[in-house]
Structures are given as C-alpha cells and as structure tokens.
Amino acid sequence: MRVMVVARLFAGFADGLAGGVWQPRGAPAAYRLLEALAADEDTELLTVFASKDEHDRRFACGGTYDMPPLGRVVILPWARRNWLAVLRLDGKLREASHLLRCLWLRLRFRPHVTYFTNASFPVAAIFARLGLSRVILRLMGLHPHQYKVADAGRGLQHWFYHSPFDHVICSLDGSGADYYLPRLIAPGVPRSVLLNGVDPQLPDRQAVARIAAEYGKTVAPVVLFVGRLEWNKGCREFVEGVLAVLARRPGSFRAVVVGDGGLRDELARRITEAGAGDAVRLVGSVPHGEVAAWLGRADIYVSLNHLGNLSNANLEAIAAGKCMIILDEDARTHTDMETTRLIPDDAVLRISRDSMEENLAEALESLLDAPERITSYAAATARLAGELLQPWDARIAHELEMIRHIAEEEGPVL
C-alpha cells in the first residue's frame, strides 16, 4: 500500500530535519509510526512535514530530501509575511499553499491512505470531501479551541471537522475525547481513542552517577516535575506549592523541574526571590535517558497538567512505579474523566484544581508526615502499570494494522 503522511513539523523533529537527518526528540506516537511504516515491506511511504512555526526560519524554503530511514521526505515551508499577518491572512495563505502542494503530491504519489495530523485538518477535510484517498485524521489529544468548535456546532472549522473521514484516531491523554469527539466529528465516522505506549527505559549511567553524587541516598525526599515550562503544564503552580512547603518546613525535601520553555526565567526568578535555590532545581531539557534517571531518584512525582494527565511523561512515571500527585477531573471541561476511569484512587493522590498551589502543598505535607503512604502509592502504581500499559511496539503495530485495513476497504478512490 502507498501511504502519504502529512504531519506537523514538530519541535522535537526540527533540529534533526534542519541538519538533514532523522533524529526525533518528542512526539513518540508520531515518529514511531513513521518509522514503522517505513520499515514495513508492504508499504511505500511519503512523509510530508508542514512547517507551522512562524519563528523558525530554517524551513522558510522547504524542500524534498532522501532521509533514511523514512525515505522520501517533503517539507512544506511557511515564511511569515508581516503585512499579511496584519490583515489576518498569513495563516490562511499558508494553509492554501500547503493544500495546493499536497494536492500536487497526491497526483504524483497516488496514495491509498493519507494520514493527517491535526495541524493540517483543513487539508485533510478537503481530501476527504473530494474522495482523493482514504483519509485518517490523527488528533494528538484535544485542546480548548476544539472544545469551543465542538460546542458551537457550526462554522467553517466545524465543517472541516465534520468531513467524511475514513477514520479519526485520538490520543487518550485525559483531554476529554470521550465527551468531545462525538460533537467534533461527524456521526458515523469511525473513531479510536488510543493510550500511548511505554517502553521500559534504562537510566543513563552517567546521569545516575551525577544525580547520586549531588543528592546521595540519605538526603530528604526528591519531588519531581517533568514537562514543558508553559502555563498549561502547571509549572507555576508546582513551584509555588513547593515553595510554600519549604517556607514552613525548610530542608524537608528537594524539588527538581525537568523541562524547558517560555516560563523558565520567570520560575528561576521566583525561586531566587524565595531563597530556595539550593532546594528547588531547574535542570532544563535533558535526554530521555536522563529523565529516566531522575524518575529513578524521585520519591514523589507531580503532574499539574491542566489539559490532561495521561501524557507520555506521566505514563513513564506509572511504568517507573512512582508515588504520584495529579489533578482531579474537571467536570466543567470534562478533562481527566478518562484518567479517573483508568487510574483508581489508591494508585495516585488526586488534588482539586481550585487553588492548586495550596492543595499541592497540603498533599506534599501529608506525605511528608506519613512517609509510608509514599511507599504504598508507589506499590499501587507499579501494579497498575502491569495492567494498563503496553510497549510501544504493540501499540504501533495496532495502529499500523488499522491503516492496512482502511487501505483495503472497498469503494472507489479518485
């Protein structure tokens, strides 16, 4: 079968692609599927990366490359034009140019299946409505803007999402797919909501040695946060919560923040102002093996992700058997309803979304007062991992089989 994948040029792919090599970091559901399609003997793959980042000028010209192990790779450019941005036409011109290029690639490649990630959903809609191939729309979870589109039930974007796709696949990340997908996607379109895979990750030995040298085995508990330093990840609330506990109980634990993003300087200033530089460490973005090392050293793992708490990082924390503090479900936005269904209360300590900082501080103090609860939660999480999680190979093999089945469905394709 011939498969054309049109994916966003994810930030984790950009550095490698800019150097002409395939070195993905992040977005494992996307890069592992691409690698599986490229390795499949019965599949001819064309990979198209659509640039959507107005600040990354490295892909302003696009191009076509032979890039092992994927094979032929096309990059669709986007060079921001300020005068069009003032008229709010810049994004529309980008989508129109990407659509025309995808139509040209379709005429030359003639795919049986075209697989679009959500960033190119308008192009996916046109392909589906014109019957140009079997069309799969892949949602990497849902976002508040999609909630609004689903609730509105009208408008151009709603028309796009209500196109006759052959299948819609959404990540099960706690972002409300069970509630919003039936409103966002047209009735009768097959839907699959899939939990990401998790592979056992051996920590990098050098990373373990560095962490052991700094923290040792006899110091206070380590509380870990892993995620992008953006507002929706809850990094502000995490820092404020741990600073509140440290103000009342100096030296009672150490906190580590793994990740980078736009709020790093703000968080660093806040930690310095509180005089907590020795107790709260921002380590920045690190290789995956080093994340595993920090998980191995951590006693308590905290996730305050506003948009869903079944992320890749959280699944890895479950696989590592960590005592976890996460946000409770939000009945208003339907966030983490699936998380509550999949993760029982004895496996994690849930806190309310109202006054997150105070609730986190109270939860941490409750664990510090009863350290046996840390051990109990960790044991329950380890048991849950054996029941809930599957390795990435099995997870991707399932999606690959879905693509094969869709390619083989009867009916004319133009």
Residue 106's identity, in one-letter code, is: R
**CA 211, CA 164: separation in Å to the nearest integer?**
52
What is the enclosing helix (H) or strand (E) of 120? none
pLDDT single digits (tens) 188-229: 999 999 999 999 877 778 888 888 777 666 568 999 999 999
Q: Please report where in the chains the tokens 């083989």 appear, as a residue.
A: 408
Contact indicator for 351, 363 with CB cutoff of 8 Å: yes
List the beta strands (DSSP E) in 230-343. Answer: 254-258, 280-284, 300-303, 323-327
Structure tokens at 300: 């308590």
Q: Which of 249, 280, 275 is nearest to 365 (CA)?
A: 249
Question: Hey, what are 15's tokens?
Answer: 């550095």
Amino acid occupying residue 351: I
pLDDT tens digits in sequence order for the chain, 414 residues long: 999 999 999 888 888 888 889 989 888 999 999 999 999 999 999 999 998 876 677 887 888 999 999 999 999 987 555 545 555 555 677 788 899 999 999 999 999 999 999 999 999 999 999 999 999 999 999 999 999 999 999 999 999 999 999 999 999 999 999 999 999 999 999 999 999 999 987 777 888 888 877 766 656 899 999 999 999 999 999 999 999 999 999 999 999 999 998 999 999 999 999 999 899 999 998 877 788 999 988 999 999 999 999 999 999 999 999 999 999 999 999 999 999 999 999 999 999 999 999 999 999 999 999 999 999 999 999 999 999 999 999 999 999 999 999 998 755 455
pLDDT digits (tens, 9 = 90+) for 108-158: 999 999 999 999 999 999 999 999 999 999 999 999 999 999 999 999 999
Domains identified in the chain and CATH numbers: 2-197+392-407 (3.40.50.2000), 205-388 (3.40.50.2000)
E strand or H helix at 223: strand 222-226
CA distance 75 to 98: 10
Closest CA to 344 of 373, 309, 384, 379: 384
- 315: phi then psi, degrees, rounded to nearest 5: -65, -35
CA angle 176–352–284, rounded 5-degree value: 80
Give kind and range of the element (H or E) at residue 2.
strand 2-8
How far is CA 381 from each of CA 55, 254, 315, 340, rounded to the nearest angstrom? 40, 22, 10, 14
Burial of 365 (0-12, 13-18, 19+ CB in 10 A): middle
